Amino acid sequence: MNDAHETLRRLPGVADADLPFAGERRLREHLLSEAVVGARRAGRRPFGLVLAAGVATCAVALAVSLGTGGGGSGVRPPEPAAVQLLDRVALTAQEQPAATVRDDQFLYTKTVGHSTTLSETKDGGMEAFRTDESAERWVSVNGSVGTLVRTADGTSREPTSSKGNAEPSINGPTYRFLEALPTDPDKLLKLIYADVRVNHGPDSGSTLSTDQHAFVAIGDLLRTVNAPPGVSAALYRAAARIPGVVFVPEATDAAGRSGVAVARVDRGERTEWIFDAATLRLLGERTVALKDSHWARAGEPVTSVAFVGRGVVDEAGERPQ
């Protein structure tokens, strides 16, 4: 038994046989065989053999059949261990009670963490320094007023009328917008890829792959607003269909809390979503450098944000009890 399987075995949740993927025995056996062959060609140990075939192989099939990838033929299907973790996280999210919120209320989020900024030195070189990203945010449930943000240094941006502003979108969601999203992960993923191609297509100047943009977009949706349980579950299951998603057995968030992670590598950096191993609650996210660069040394986080408070309040500036 390898470390990935042992880590997943210890996580809470239902038995593998209870996970919500259906399929005929012949299809599962065929897809598992294909996944193992692909793992061997990539020089990886085929630990998918010891994981739930129904979960792992159906997600691989969905990722391939959707044709959503933008990274070329070299992009691997999602790792079975990552698929299994995301499905357990989705089940946990789906079991949470749905919040009852009014249009005039606000969703509160408190984060701690940092990002990295590059600055040019006097001799023409580049120097990296950390920027504190700790903040409290109050997001209007229906978007009728702007978002109140209070940063760690005391900076405050008061909400103003949103009249004339752009409609809520994947890149700027409200709770009501998220409520209207499809809870079918296939439909949701197609919607996200369509948005990515519009906003991050060939003419956008982006250096990230389409798959990476989709992974980041889902992470942003999960981070920005606490979505309804069914939508949260669909977002996690949609992420499990993105090619190149991997499992990280150990990760630490910006608050120093350890957990397990699902991640994706793109252009020498690994973007991670970190979950509590006991509760499967989303703790935070970070991007880790995989090689030395101006931004960071290999193994160091370029950005890291932890979620330390969430709730629903009646007024912007009010904190949950």
pTM of the model: 0.78
Q: What is the pLDDT of residue 2?
A: 61
Confidence at 57, pLDDT banded by 50, 70, 90: very low
Q: What is the pLDDT of residue 62?
A: 43
* Distance from C-alpha of 321 to C-alpha of 316, rounded to nearest angstrom: 14
Per-residue pLDDT averaged across 253-259, rounded? 97
Q: What is the pLDDT of residue 52?
A: 37
**What is the per-residue pLDDT across 1-32, written as a single tens digit (0 to 9) for each?**
566 666 666 666 544 444 444 333 333 333 44
Per-residue pLDDT averaged across 219-240, rounded? 94
Confidence at 162, pLDDT banded by 50, 70, 90: low
Indicate if the pLDDT at residue 185 is higher than 90.
yes
**Better pLDDT: 118 or 9:** 118
Q: Average pLDDT of the chain? A: 81
Distances (CA, A) of 73 to 35, 38, 204, 240: 15, 12, 23, 18
Ranges of beta strands (E only) in 68-159 are: 106-120, 126-132, 135-140, 148-151, 156-157
Ranges of beta strands (E only) in 9-73 are: none
Indicate if the pLDDT at residue 44 is higher than 60.
no
Confidence at 55, pLDDT banded by 50, 70, 90: very low
Query: Which value, in Å, is the radius of gyration of the alpha carbons in the chain?
Result: 20
Q: What is the pLDDT of residue 20?
A: 40
Indicate if the pLDDT at residue 310 is higher than 80.
yes
Q: What is the pLDDT of residue 223?
A: 87
Confidence at 106, pLDDT banded by 50, 70, 90: very high
